[in-house]
């Protein structure tokens, strides 16, 4: 009886230990600012157009970037290669505008509503990135490639899968931006409120 109880307690203890295969991860998220000039809504928005993050030939109001690295463990099982675990390390940076000087009361109120909405928009992009990482885990952990004793073919197969998921995330972000910036979209309305009201 005592032995059974000790065995049960040991199992209960082992169940509380973190599993390498199911280790939780958390993205590190930070906000970076770029400085803009102006004391009115139109001036602030014009400064964003001059100083915002450059994306290709145009400048954006804000931008979300990320750095993703992996700690992966491969095992050779017979002549096959298996990815037995993959732990992501994800850092997301949100770049947002920040006025260089204190704003007049009315402008400040409009600015605060504007920047809160823009920040919320960028957080959605961050969620898309985190979802992509979760999908990469699901698509690769446990992946088995036969006749690959040196674990070379598996990396080529993973690159294909990662490319598909990465392209899907980029398209999702583009579609979201288009919807938000179109007439009647949330960001479009925030811009109008700032320029016309501030």
* Confidence (pLDDT) at 23: 52
Q: Of 5-19, 38-52, 123-137, give the lowest mean pLDDT range.
A: 5-19
User: Which residue in 167, 192, 196 sits closest to 182, CA to CA?
Assistant: 192
Averaged over 126-138, what is the pLDDT?
97
Position with higher pLDDT, 4 vs 140: 140
CB 92 within 8 A of CB 66: yes
Token code pair at residue 91: 């850092």
Q: What proportion of the chain, given as a percentage, has pLDDT over 90?
A: 84
Q: How confident is the model at residue 198 (pLDDT cuts 50, 70, 90)?
A: low
Using one digit for the tens of pLDDT, what is the confidence trace for 84-117? 999 999 999 999 999 999 999 999 999 999 999 9
Both structure tokens of 66: 């990320």
Is residue 197 very low, low, confident or very high in pLDDT (cuts 50, 70, 90)? confident
The token duo for 88 is 């992501």
Q: Tell me how far apart the alpha carbons of residues 55 and 60 are, in angstroms, rounded to a whole number.
A: 7
- Rounded Cα gap, residues 173 and 187, in angstroms: 14
Q: Is the pTM of this model over 0.75?
A: yes
pLDDT (tens digit per residue) in 48-65: 999 999 988 899 999 999
- Residue 129 CA to residue 146 CA, distance in Å, equals 31
């Amino acid at each position: 009886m005592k032995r059974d109880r000790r065995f049960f307690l040991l199992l209960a203890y082992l169940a509380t230990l973190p599993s390498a295969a199911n280790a939780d991860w958390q993205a590190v998220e930070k906000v970076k600012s770029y400085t803009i000039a102006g004391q009115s809504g139109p001036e602030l928005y014009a400064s964003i157009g001059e100083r915002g993050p450059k994306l290709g030939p145009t400048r954006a109001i804000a931008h979300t970037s990320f750095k993703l690295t992996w700690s992966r463990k491969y095992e050779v099982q017979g002549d096959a290669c298996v990815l037995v675990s993959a732990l992501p390390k994800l850092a997301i940076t949100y770049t947002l505008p920040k006025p260089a000087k204190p704003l007049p009361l009315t402008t400040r109120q409009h600015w605060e509503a504007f920047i809160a909405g823009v920040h919320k928009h960028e957080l959605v992009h961050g969620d898309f990135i985190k979802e992509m990482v979760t999908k990469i885990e699901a698509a690769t952990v446990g992946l088995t490639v036969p006749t690959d004793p040196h674990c070379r073919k598996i990396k080529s197969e993973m690159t294909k899968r990662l490319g598909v998921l990465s392209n899907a995330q980029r398209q999702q972000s583009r579609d979201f931006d288009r919807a938000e910036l179109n007439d009647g979209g949330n960001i479009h309305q925030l811009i109008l409120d700032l320029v016309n009201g501030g």
